[in-house]
Amino acid sequence: MLRRCLNYLCILTVLLVVGVAGAFAQSVPGALDSYAAASLDASPNFKAISKVKPSEPVATKVRPGIMSRFEGLSTLNPMRWGEESILPAPAPGQFLAGPRVWFGRVSGEARRTIGATAIHDSAVNFRDHLGIGQSASTIWGVDVQYQLRPRFGLRYSFTPIKMESRYTTPASFTFANQLFAAGSQVQSKWERYEHRAGVTFNLSNSTSSRASVFAEWMYLQDKLSIGSGVGAITPLVWDDVRNLAVVGVEFDKCLKNFRGNSLNLSCKADVMFLNDSFGFDAETALNYMIPIRTGRFGFVKGGYKYSYFQKENDRDMFNTAIGGPFVQVGFLF
């Protein structure tokens, strides 16, 4: 109660001071008012205007500071590149679609334990034990995006991977409780089918840049088959299916316009999780867009992409990493 009374007293004091100040200002004539009145009553006794030659300016040498020497580095900031350029973007009702080819180098390892055995199988290395990933592989895929609203869009992507190898393993390993001796010939095949579907939301849109976030559902199927190259061991097949959640960010920036064509910087990163799994994708690329008709473009994109996926629990493990350049062509229509 006392605190409330003090608050009311402070407010009343402030109002009182403002009222008194206003009344005092209205009752006391200002010096400017009297001066203006005297100027109106005075006779027009003015002197002739005379030209005054300005004095010569004196040059003063100023030594530049340390920070001024770093002003040129601001041109290296990508956020300031192409500030006056125009970034082509899909309008509501338009599609952005195109196939891509990824020249990725694969590395990974897997472990599969069957039954109630207390001793887990050893990890099978894709390169050392199976011969998969000795050289870069060609991986194709397709991306489709439909702009539903100015800020909302739908997207879908599909990436199949299939690799086979006949390899003489230099070291012994165990997979699904089956021992493969050193020096034996191993016939192996790895297949992966990746489906993604989700929504995207544009956080900011400007003439030259666009930033957005996206959320996707991911269906991932890994199928690994390992057997003897001479038919002595029946192929052991491990077919693993997972449903994952994916969240990520995407950034596009126009660097330069060339008579209607545009050179853009495109960056994308996301993480995936759930079902004892974790992974991430990251890519950066340059996108060259060529106008075909009003509001329609063709594009050629090239850059580098890295993808990592890990699933591990007490009995099973499946880790893969793929990195390499990619090229994509498509249309905005």
pLDDT at 172 over 70: yes
pLDDT at 151 over 80: yes
pTM of the model: 0.74
State residue 73's pLDDT score. Answer: 44
State residue 198's pLDDT score. Answer: 98
> With 0-12 CB in 10 A as exposed, 13-18 as middle and 19+ as buried, what is 12?
exposed
> With 0-12 CB in 10 A as exposed, 13-18 as middle and 19+ as buried, what is 173?
buried
Mean pLDDT estimate for the chain: 81
User: Rounded to the nearest 10 degrees, how much is the dihedral formed by the CA atoms of 294, 93, 97, 260?
Assistant: 20
Q: How far apart are CA 299 and CA 100, in angstroms?
A: 12
The domains of the chain, with CATH numbers, are: 93-332 (2.40.160.20)
Tokens of 40: 């109106």
pLDDT tens digits for 54-82? 566 555 555 555 444 444 444 445 545 55
pLDDT tens digits for 198-240? 999 999 989 999 999 999 999 999 999 999 888 777 889 999 9
**How many helices (H) and strands (E) are present in the chain, helices listed first?**
2, 13
